[in-house]
Amino acid sequence: MKTIEESRARLRGLFNITMTPFKADQSIDFEGLSRNALRVLDLGFDGLLIGGTYGEFPTLSVEERAEIFRHVMNTVDDRAPVMLCTAHSDPRVVRELTTLAGELGGVPMVMPPYVSEVTDDQIVAFFLEMAPLSKTGAIVYNAPGTGITLSPSVLEKLSDIPQMVAIKQGDLSPGVIDRIAGRLKGKIGLFCASDLAFLGPMAAGFDGISSTNSGAFPELVQESYRAIEGGDSITAGALHRRWYDYRAFARQFGQPQTVKAAMNLRGFDGGHVRAPLRDLGAAEIGVLEALVRPLAG
């Protein structure tokens, strides 16, 4: 992508949150990363999200993150839109990665600065500084798991920034989703940040979702998403319930660890997680294998 207008037009649909596979020595498996990206695009996914929370960006150096950005964009070229997570606690790093993401043709995904006692006004000022750095615009990543949850009123202020093209919304409480969909639909792209509970936001009018578990079950997640996208909530709900037991397991043991283990069981490039996370043990993998078998393919 080259412009903000192109980003606004293309940022919609089903995006795979692409796992960053690490080798046993904790180095990045770049060949596996390429295969992970191309696998879902070949199946018909609409885009990718690279280097987000489930891409384990907090464990990556700034240099590694930039290298991943370049590698993926070289792999994908302009085949599909790519969200590139540029979050960091140091604004200097956010500036560097946000600028790079736009130059490469991706769209930077910016989190609020996760420092203690930051105010709403300071958060808005931060986004006002960062968004113009990218020629492709920027995405607000509202990720409560980082310790800061952006309120609907703050999101409305951020949607007024001319360079802001989308919101990736992690607070999925019904009242919040209702307000965001009711007030911001058509003004800015709306993405549900979780495939664990995307049916409601999509029915409310969201423009797309980002899916972590599609790394392990791309066919099933895509079938469910296409059903709700096409207005068939009955089919979408039935397909979504099929993998509830797996979702419960993932909540217990952690999504990056579980998704990567499930990918490995399917012969995909899950690889390892990077410390401080730990791979699932043999006992957990034995339970997981029984959950994966009926969902694969």
Tell me if 284 sits within 8 A of 253, measured CB to CB. yes
Q: What is the full DSSP assignment across 17-53?
A: EE---B-TTS-B-HHHHHHHHHHHHHHT--EEEESSG
Query: Is 266 exposed, middle or buried (CB count within 10 Å of its CB: 0-12, 13-18, 19+)?
Result: middle
Round to whole Å and give the CA distance between 236 and 127.
36
DSSP H or E stretch at residue 143: none
Q: Which residue has the tokens 């990045």?
A: 28
Round to whole Å and give the CA distance between 2 and 248.
40
Q: Please give the pLDDT value at position 297.
A: 66
Per-residue pLDDT tens for 21-69?
999 999 999 999 999 999 999 999 999 999 998 999 999 999 999 999 9
Q: Which residues are catalytic?
A: 141, 168
DSSP H or E stretch at residue 16: strand 13-18
Q: Please give the pLDDT value at position 268.
A: 98
| Count of beta carbons in the 10 Å neighbourhood of residue 237 | 14
Please indicate, yes or no, whether the overall pTM of this predicted structure exceeds 0.85.
yes
Per-residue pLDDT tens for 241-260?
999 999 999 999 999 999 99
Q: Please give the pLDDT value at position 190.
A: 98
Contacts of 130 (CB under 8 A, 6+ apart): 86, 91, 94, 95, 98, 108, 110, 138
Mean pLDDT of all residues in the chain? 96
Round to whole Å and give the CA distance between 113 and 148.
9
- Residue 1 has which token pair? 């992508």
Q: Please give the pLDDT value at position 245.
A: 97
Segment 135-159 mean pLDDT:
94
> Residue 116: pLDDT band by 50, 70, 90 thresholds?
confident
Q: Please give the pLDDT value at position 146.
A: 79
- The end-to-end CA distance of the chain, in Å, is 32
Q: Domain map of the chain by residue range?
A: 4-236
Per-residue pLDDT tens for 188-240?
999 999 999 999 999 999 999 999 999 999 999 999 999 999 999 999 999 99
| Count of beta carbons in the 10 Å neighbourhood of residue 253 | 16
Q: Please give the pLDDT value at position 66.
A: 98
Superfamily of domain 4-236 in the CATH hierarchy:
Aldolase class I (3.20.20.70)
Q: Please give the pLDDT value at position 87.
A: 95
Lowest mean pLDDT across 41-50, 142-151, 166-175: 142-151
Q: Please give the pLDDT value at position 144.
A: 84
